[in-house]
A = this chain, B = another copy of it.
Amino acid sequence: MSKAVLLKDVSARTGCSSALVSAVLNGRTGRIRASEAMRKRIFKVADELGYVPNRNACGLRMSRSFLIGALAANLSSSFVPEILSGIEARCLHTNYGVLLGDYNNDDELLERWTSFQGRGVDGVICIGKPASFKQCILPSPDIKCVFVGGCVGDEECGGVWVDRASLLRLAAQAFAERGHRHIAYLTNYSPAECDVWRNALLSHGIVAGSIRTCHNFFEEGVAVATAILKEHPELTAFFADSDLLGTAVLAAARNCGKRVPEDLSVLGIDDSILCRISQPELASLRQPRREQGEKGAELLMQMLDGEPARNIVLQGELVCRASLAQAPENHSES
C-alpha cells in the first residue's frame, strides 16, 4: 500500500512551503516566485518522489475537472475509433483526461450528457453529428463543445471537418480525367445534400447519373447497387460514400457480371483496411481521421483557455487503386 506522494511531501523534503511547490510545478509566474536554485530543487525532489498531483483536489479548488467528454454515436463504426484515438493522443501530455460516452440512440445520448454534467466535464467533443444535438447539448452553455467529423457551423461550438465539397470535387475530377461520363452515386447522406456531388460533376460538364440513398450496411449496399447496375447498363463508374458501400458495389458488380475496373470503376471514401483486402483493391478518398481528432481536442482545450470557437476545415486526398481506371472506349462517348 504505497501511499500517494502529496504536495506537502515534496515541500517537506525541499524545505519550503507547499504553495511554492505548487506555483513552481505549474509554471505560474505571479506574486509567488522561487529562486533559480529553489526551482531546480523542487523539480528534482518532485521527480525523485514521483509526485503526481491529485486531480480531484486540483479540480475542486479550480472548479475545473480537467475532463473532456467524448460523445460518439456507435463506437464500432470504423471511423470513430480513429478520431477517438487522435483525441486521446492529443490529450496525452496535457492535464486533460478523456471520458468516454458511446451511445446508440437519443435516450442514451441524453443520459450520457447528464452523466457528463455530473462529472463536471469542462468540455465535450461530439464525434459525428448527433441528430438530436439541439435538444440534448445546447441547453447547457457552461460546457464548451466541439464537433468533429460532422460539419455543423454553430456560433458557440467549434468544429473540425473535412471539406466535403472539395472531397467530392476530387472524386469528380478523378472520374472526369479518366473519361467517365455515366457515374452513379451511393450515399447515406440525405438527398438534399447530394447537390454538392451534382455541382462537383457539373464543373466538369457532367450531369450526375443515378443517385441513391442507403444505410451504411453491406447487405443493403449490395442490394441497392445491384438494382442500380441492372437499371443503368450505361454506367462506367460508381462512387460510394464509404468503403463499406464501395465493397458492396464491388460485390454488386460481380453479381451483374461486370468486371472491375474494365467495365466499371469504383471509388469509396475512407481509405480503410477494407480497400486493401477487397478484390480488386478499392480506390478511395482518404480523410485524415486521426488528425481531425487531434485538431478537435486542441481546439477544445484552446476554447477552455478562453479562446473563441472556430472551425477548422481539413482536406482529403485521392488514393488510387486497381478499382479506378480509364472508362471503356465504347461507352465513354455514348
From residue 88 to 106 of chain A, which have CB atoms closer than 8 A to chain B?
88-89, 92-93, 97-102
Q: Beyond A54-B120, A97-B100: 18 further Cβ-contacts under 8 Å? A: A1-B141, A2-B142, A4-B117, A52-B114, A54-B60, A55-B118, A55-B119, A56-B65, A56-B119, A75-B85, A88-B100, A88-B102, A92-B111, A98-B99, A100-B100, A218-B276, A248-B277, A251-B277
A26 proximal to B (CB < 8 A):
no
Q: How far is the CB of A183 from chain B (nearest CB, A)?
A: 22
Q: Mark A264-293, 1 if CB is under 8 A from B, else 0.
A: 000000000110111100000000000000
Known A-B contacts A142-B2, A244-B277; A97 and B75 likewise in contact (beta carbons under 8 Å) = no
22 contacts between A and B (CB under 8 A): A52-B114, A54-B60, A55-B56, A56-B59, A56-B119, A70-B100, A75-B84, A85-B102, A88-B102, A92-B111, A93-B111, A98-B100, A218-B273, A219-B276, A244-B277, A248-B277, A251-B277, A254-B279, A273-B274, A274-B274, A274-B277, A278-B278
Q: Mark A64-77, 1 if CB is under 8 A from B, else 0.
A: 01000010001110
User: Bound complex: CA of A50 vs CA of B101, how far in Å?
Assistant: 20
